[in-house]
Structure 1
């Protein structure tokens, strides 16, 4: 097992009331303030960052679903969760903050964010790395997943937010 940096530790909250409330995905490194259309930290669009506090829970849930879907896709492309229960046990034991309503690939990314440099045997945490990425350190793998997550969010923004509807008649 590894010991996490106490600055990153916060026990998972899985009560029903916390699952119904969508918390801000902000991680404190917002790049929209310096001109990015998609935040390199949380991957929200600039207008979502600006208007987040005014969004209804349904609007927040819609954004959260998109973000968790993209993160899951980026993570599952490079890793497989082999034991969901073990992964969740490790998250709880290591006191890694995660959202219980998200899938196991989002959980895996939270584990990698908190302790990629300290994990020596992924099998003991309920996951394996796919062959093409086996040579990467888990820190480099985490960063590659994060980059893929940002690319997916940016592509979505470019297609559906920045580009006018190609079929709209003017």
Structure 2
């Protein structure tokens, strides 16, 4: 029996509605299509690149004060994350799912760098992630 193919998919694939870059995971449409055929090392490398991008972007807007509290809240709200996923990358998922309901980010182990609510933080982070993914798409970096 084949094992499960690990993926950065967050269950929000906007490529199905015509986007060339997924708004959920920031992968290119071809990457999503070809993901199951990639060697394990190539998948791991790309997931690490996506995590690094999320950490860089989210880190401009958020600070993780308590990674354990963040993880506990992710589990409590049944938000998917990977064991090796850095806390700031996990925070992006938290904001995506809870942006309309989160009132106090400190309860989630997070602190905004600016006076923005969760919805505004999510909007900024998402816009920056999409801009970076579009830049990558235009550079047409093939996967190995």
Could you state the TM-score of these two structures normalised by the residue count of structure 1? 0.71
1:80–1:130 contact (8 Å) kept in structure 2: yes
Cα 1:40–1:111 change in 2 (3 A) is closer
Distance 2:87 2:11 in 1: 20
Query: Does structure 1 residue 155 correspond to structure 2 residue 138?
Result: no
Query: Does structure 1 residue 98 correspond to structure 2 residue 81?
Result: yes
Query: Does structure 1 residue 140 correspond to structure 2 residue 94?
Result: no
2:51–2:85 contact (8 Å) kept in structure 1: yes
Larger RCO (CA within 8 A; separation ≥ 6): 1
1:130-170 per-residue CA deviation (whole Å, 9 max, x = no partner) reads 12xx1x331121121111111122223333539xxxxxxxx
**Aligned match of 1:31:** 15
Deviation at 1:25, TM superposition (A): 1.7
Cα 1:54–1:29 change in 2 (3 A) is same
1:36-72 per-residue CA deviation (whole Å, 9 max, x = no partner) reads 2x33332112321221121121121121111111111
Query: Does structure 1 residue 81 correspond to structure 2 residue 43?
Result: no
**Aligned match of 2:40:** 57
Gap runs ≥5 in structure 1: 1-16, 163-170
Distance 1:128 1:35 in 2: 32
2:105–2:118 contact (8 Å) kept in structure 1: no
Moved over 3 A (4+): none
Distance 1:24 1:129 in 2: 24
Distance 1:22 1:153 in 2: 20
